[in-house]
Structure 1
Amino acid sequence: MDSNTDLHKTQLLERMKQRTEDLAAKAEERKIQRDISAAENENAEYFHCAFSEMKEHVEKKIQRIDEIEKQNLRDYFDDLIKDIHAVQRFLNESSMFLAAFKIKKAQEDVTDLNKIVQSKMEEIQPKKRFGFRSKKNTEKGAAEIKKRLPKEEVDGKDSNKSALDKILERQFFGFNNEVGKHLTKSAEEVNNRQLNLVNLRDCRVEALGNPASLQIASLVDCTVILGPASRSAFIKECHNCTFVLACQQVRIHDTKNSNFYLHVTGAAIIENCSKVRFAPYTLNYDLLSEHFALSGLNQSVNYWDKIEDFKWLNENEASPNWSVLKEKERVFDWLNPKFKK
């Protein structure tokens, strides 16, 4: 009788322990999802502000079409199409961080703007004296303008920044479309701002400060060295890169053959990644402790090797998509000139 009672107690305790562990796991999963949602909301707010301002700018220009002198209509439509092209480009670059329904709504807005402009152009095109003709008279109307626009952008003939470029500059902070450069931001510049790194190739980026959050996309053969960020880091479509970063939570998508020297106090998540390796954050510089204090991150807590692979569902086997970078292969002196491009 006593042995049965003891067995019953043991089984009861085991069930209680298992239930406690399950509840803890579910609570941690909910926390991760809350962190992800908060970061996505932050990114969506940034996009919404810039996109709304750009869209309003184009709408105001459309409303002024009837006020434009006839001899200036060609250039005016030229600029309008260029503006819509800029809005589309901004949407394409931002879509990696947006929910599907937000992308769909924004794309509908861009399509509507384009339809309105094309309709206005077709109204005016038949009037020969206002025709859209090139110097060689090879193309007419909207087709000519749309064909000519990309060539002008590629050739760099339009050196003046458009109003939409200025809007993007106000909203976008960081670096984009650079090749083979050493890019730096000071602590004063990055502090409490979202840092964006987009479309970089063969670049070295240094930003030793306390950014609010990080958005990184489409980097190839780059080295990125960053001070501690207060909130999230989103990284997507990077190949053959090295990242040295600290943040509350990091989410890495569609990235290959890259190393991460990581300090993360919350969740570290990968999805659709392969051959990514992780090591602890080894960056050291004079103001690092001060920047950690500004970030609010706990410098003594680092889950750099607790990686959640959302595409690996086998709980009994380690994910083959990531590994720990061997200590003998790690870099410690990141600011030594020999490591700089």
Structure 2
Amino acid sequence: MAAVEKLGSGSSAENNASSVLERLKKRHQTRLEDAERRKEANDSLKPAEESAEYFESEFNRERAAVEALLLRAGPGASRAEAADALERATAELAALQKFVSDSVMFLTQYELSRAQAALQTLHAALNAAREEALPAKKFAFRARKKATGKTPAPPPSADATGGLQHVTTEAEQCEFSHLSDVNITKTAEEIERRDVLVTHLRNCRVTLLGAPSTLHLKDLRGCDVRCGPVRSSVFVDRVTDSTLALACQQLRTHNTTDTCVYLHVTCKAIVEDCARVGFAPFTWSYPGLERDYAASGLDQTRNNWSAVDDFNWLAADTPSPNWSVIPEEERRTTWDT
């Protein structure tokens, strides 16, 4: 009888072990399914604008619009019609240039090169259409008596490296890269209403005085970057062990680690694939900051510096481990100018 009871106990233990293994398997499967759902939800949160397919579709559509305007300015158009079409084509092309600049963060080098080549072709076609439809007026020789002696500027042309043709627009770029251990200062005259690209810097201090259109910070290490109010967005990618002082409408931060951000943002801040990023209110100041705020259109009374969305963390009831608020006693209070 005792032997029967012992056998029964063993059978019960086996059943319990089997039950535990089954529960563990189900729990593991549930975790896998939850992880997949989080990944799908994370992907769905990414704006449609941040995809190569969207970029190509929008770029081709806008390019076709510019080309159609250039055709309207061709043979058969009156001078007034040609002037109107060329003016609109110039504005559309400037907007397309800005679209490419704003998309540079998620484009491959091949995609960016193709877009730049297409822009160069459009610039050349626009210049040719303007010369044909609206030729420059010829001056009489008597005008030479009043000449100031200044040499007229040469027409826009492509540089020797095959870069974009230089066309003066409000979306013109200001770019500097591949520098180490230097202090860089740009004045309002150099960056006002421009797209500023700062890339591949090591142990540099960058001071941007003015109100640029957009700001791109990419591949920085050990850098100190301060920028005046940005009219639209700031894009940060692959920044490590740095300090940033930024004021903007929207901040998008990718692949960034061990970095402190002193922020004034009127819309929202977004982080993705980041770790150990700290946030605190924007405290940098310089002569002319109030003027630059007015020029940028940012609302100084509205600052969502601590309202950060982490696209890699979807648990609403638990704070993201990838970013934090910098404790007040650890925040930077003085800035060397």
Aligned to 1:190: 191
Alpha carbons of 1:248 and 1:102: their partners in 2 closer, same or farther (altered >3 Å)? farther
Matched, 1:163 2:160: yes
Q: How many residues align?
A: 207
1:332 Cα offset (Å): 2.6
Identity of aligned residues (%): 35
CA root-mean-square deviation: 3.7
The CA distance in 2 between the partners of 1:189 and 1:214, in whole Å, is 13
Matched, 1:256 2:264: no
1:169 Cα offset (Å): 8.3
* Structure whose CA Rg is larger: 2
Alpha carbons of 1:319 and 1:313: their partners in 2 closer, same or farther (altered >3 Å)? same
1:296 Cα offset (Å): 0.5
> Pairwise mapping of residues 48-87 of structure 1 onto structure 2 (< 5 A)?
none
Matched, 1:295 2:288: no
> Pairwise mapping of residues 163-242 of structure 1 onto structure 2 (< 5 A)?
163-164=160-161, 167=164, 172-242=173-243
3-state DSSP of counterpart to 2:227: strand
Alpha carbons of 1:182 and 1:317: their partners in 2 closer, same or farther (altered >3 Å)? same
Q: Deviation digits for residues 70-125 of structure 1, max 9, x if unmatched?
A: xxxxxxxxxxxxxxxxxxxxxxx998624579839939x99xxxxxxxxxxxxxxx
- Check the 8 A contact 2:159/2:165 in 1, yes or no: no
Unpaired runs of 5+ residues, structure 1, are 1-29, 50-92, 111-160, 337-341
> Pairwise mapping of residues 308-319 of structure 1 onto structure 2 (< 5 A)?
308-319=309-320
Alpha carbons of 1:257 and 1:165: their partners in 2 closer, same or farther (altered >3 Å)? farther
- Check the 8 A contact 1:96/1:236 in 2, yes or no: no
Q: Deviation digits for residues 269-313 of structure 1, max 9, x if unmatched?
A: 000000000000001122111110100000010000000000001
The CA distance in 2 between the partners of 1:244 and 1:236, in whole Å, is 15
Aligned to 1:4: none
> Pairwise mapping of residues 117-132 of structure 1 onto structure 2 (< 5 A)?
none
Aligned to 2:114: 106
- Check the 8 A contact 1:213/1:229 in 2, yes or no: yes
Unpaired runs of 5+ residues, structure 2, are 1-43, 64-100, 119-157
**Which letter does structure 1 place at the counterpart of 2:161?**
L
The CA distance in 2 between the partners of 1:220 and 1:314, in whole Å, is 31
**Which letter does structure 2 place at the counterpart of 1:164?**
T
Alpha carbons of 1:192 and 1:321: their partners in 2 closer, same or farther (altered >3 Å)? same
Matched, 1:268 2:275: no
